[in-house]
Each structure stands twice: as structure tokens, then as C-alpha cells.
Amino acid sequence: MMLGRSMDIFLLAKRGELVSENTIKYYAYWCKDFARYVAELGVLDWQEVTAEHLQSYLYNELLTNRKVRKVTVHDSYRAIKAWNRYLKKKSYIPNCIADEIESPKQGKKIPRTFTAQEVQAMFKQCEGYGFTSKREKAMLTLLLGTGIRKSELCGLLLSDVDIENGIIKVTGKGDKQRIIPIGRKVVRALGEYREIRDSKNFFIRSKYYFVNIHGARLSIPTVNSIFKRIKEKSGLQGERVSCHTWRHTFAKSYLMNGGDIFSLQKIMGHSDLTTTKRYLNLNEKEIQTQYDKFNPVDNLDWCL
């Protein structure tokens, strides 16, 4: 079967499974990229694709030539394997070449988190009573208090936020929904933003929670620009300021304050506990803090 035709069949099947549009784009990007790579080698039919082609693509093309991160190589492998396995399952091809090679290692990079000083510096840039200040303070407070993803932040609806009961409904990967509790400071920040958002000065009718002054939903590039501006005004040099870093900071802080990994998994929307376990990596100072807080000799009455 020709690579282009098989890709169309695979993506159509995934749409039939009602996977999210972001997942479809993920599959399409990596499958097309691999098909383009082997086509340049004169291979146009899946029957002619070998495990060596896939290995060369992953390690020579992506890792060596393009110098992409190991986690990105792993992501590409997963997409191509899903395509490959689907074709074998439907008997379009006799074997799955992706199963003939080992899954690329992702490495054990500990997620970067913000320090308390960095958080304070960024919140300082959101002081003020105007629309933009209230919106950005609400965004940062929500991210720090829930760890939601950037796409989840942009997609949050007015109807998803229940201020009275202190919960939000989030639509995550694969269009899976989850309920997340929000604390009093998050409630207050969201409420203050909502008040100015709905005032007669703006009278915004959009169904989305986070919008610009014209009522348009905040896009992912716009959110990226907001964080870039906050970073520059805060004087943070060389540090990545993104929703993902806020997400990491929430998760690490949740565990450091005594939260358990199982409830964190539910809040973060992780389907696999292994993903959540990345946040268990502590540095020496953090280990000392946790030890001082929880070691039984000093914290329980043993009458010693």
C-alpha cells in the first residue's frame, strides 16, 4: 500500500475514534515527516519500508541532523508505531517494523520549576486595577493553583468555572473532562477578573473565560506573547516562562506540601502514573525540608 494512501486511511480511522484534533495533528505531522523522509530514499510503498529505515529516521535524521530532543524522537516513534500497528491490524501490511526496534529512550530530565522569588517577581507585573492586569493575575493564579495545560486555559468556558462551589471543569487531551477544585485565592483572582470582564466598560459576550478587550478568545500564540512580556518585565534572564513551567511548579509544590501522587495524577489529567512520578525528583534542599517536616523521631511523641 502506498504511504500517502495508508496515512489517509489511518488518520480517517483516528477521527472515527473521536480522538482530539490536536492528537490528529500530532499523528499527521510525524507520519507525513517520516513518509517524506523515506520518499527521498525512493521508498513509496509500505511493503518496502524496513526497520532500518525507521532507525535511520529516528537517530540519524532527527537526533543527529536536526538535533531534536530525545523526548521529541520518542514522540515521533509513538506516532509512526501507531500508524504501523493499525495497518498491520487491518492486514494492509504483513508486519510492524516499529516493533522490531527498541523504543527511543526519553532521558530522565527533571522538570524545571519556578522559585518563590521568580513567582513573586512575575505576580508583581500583574499589579493594577485594569482589565489586562486582572486577567493576567487570574491566569497566573489559576495556573499556579491547578497546573492546567495551556490548551486547557485557552479553552476554558464561562460555564466551566463554578466560583460558588470552588471548582472548574477542564477539557484535556483526547477531549477527556475532569473536575478540579480551586482554592480561595484562585476563586478571588478569577472573580475579580470576571467582574471587570463583565462590566459595562467592556460588556464582553464571548463564551470563553479568558479573552482580549475585544472579546476574542485568547489563542496559544497570544498566551505565549503574554508570558514573554511578563518574563522581560520581571527581569528573568534565560529562564523558560511558559504554562508548562507553571504546571511543573504546581505539581512539585503540591507534593512538597504533603499532597499525594494519586490525587495529583487526577488533577493533572495524566492517564499514566509514570508521568506524574517525574515530580517526585527532589534536590538535596527539598529532601531536607521534607525530612524535617515528616521524620518520625522529631514529629511524633515517642517520649524519648
Any idea what the CATH number is for the domain that residue 37 is in? 1.10.150.130
Q: What's the number of domains the chain is made of? A: 2
Work out the end-to-end distance of the chain between its first and last CA atoms, rounded to an integer number of angstroms: 76
Q: Are residues 123 and 261 in the same domain?
A: yes
Q: Are residues 56 and 180 in the same domain?
A: no
Q: Are residues 154 and 215 in the same domain?
A: yes
Residue 235 lies in a domain: yes
Q: What is the largest CA-CA distance in the chain?
A: 78
Virtual torsion, Cα 232, 233, 234, 236, nearest 10 deg: 20
Any idea what the CATH number is for the domain that residue 275 is in? 1.10.443.10
Among 39, 73, 100, residue at a domain's last position: 100
CA geometry: angle at 138 spanning 136 and 140, to 5°?
A: 70
Strand partners, 208: 157
Q: How far is CA 164 from CA 160, 188, 191, in A?
A: 12, 11, 10
Q: Are residues 15 and 73 in the same domain?
A: yes
Residue 25 lies in a domain: yes
Query: Rounded distance, CA 144 to CA 119, Å?
Result: 9
Query: Rounded distance, CA 187 to CA 190, Å?
Result: 5
Q: What is the pLDDT of residue 102?
A: 86
Q: Are residues 200 and 228 in the same domain?
A: yes
Q: What is the pLDDT of residue 282?
A: 67
Its pTM surpasses 0.75: no
Q: Are residues 26 and 123 in the same domain?
A: no
Range of the domain at 11: 3-100
Among 100, 132, 161, residue at a domain's last position: 100
Question: Is the CB of residue 277 less than 8 Å from the CB of residue 260?
Answer: no
Query: Rounded distance, CA 186 to CA 199, Å?
Result: 20
Q: What is the pLDDT of residue 105?
A: 79
Each residue's pLDDT, cut to its tens digit, for the chain (304 residues) gives 899 999 999 999 998 887 778 889 999 999 999 999 999 999 999 889 999 999 999 999 999 999 998 889 999 999 999 999 999 999 999 999 999 988 887 766 667 889 999 999 999 999 999 999 999 999 999 999 999 999 999 999 999 999 999 999 998 877 789 999 999 999 999 999 999 998 867 667 889 999 998 889 999 889 999 999 999 999 887 667 888 899 999 998 998 888 888 999 999 998 888 888 877 776 667 777 777 777 666 666 655 5
Q: Are residues 61 and 127 in the same domain?
A: no
Q: What is the pLDDT of residue 273?
A: 86
Q: Are residues 68 and 127 in the same domain?
A: no
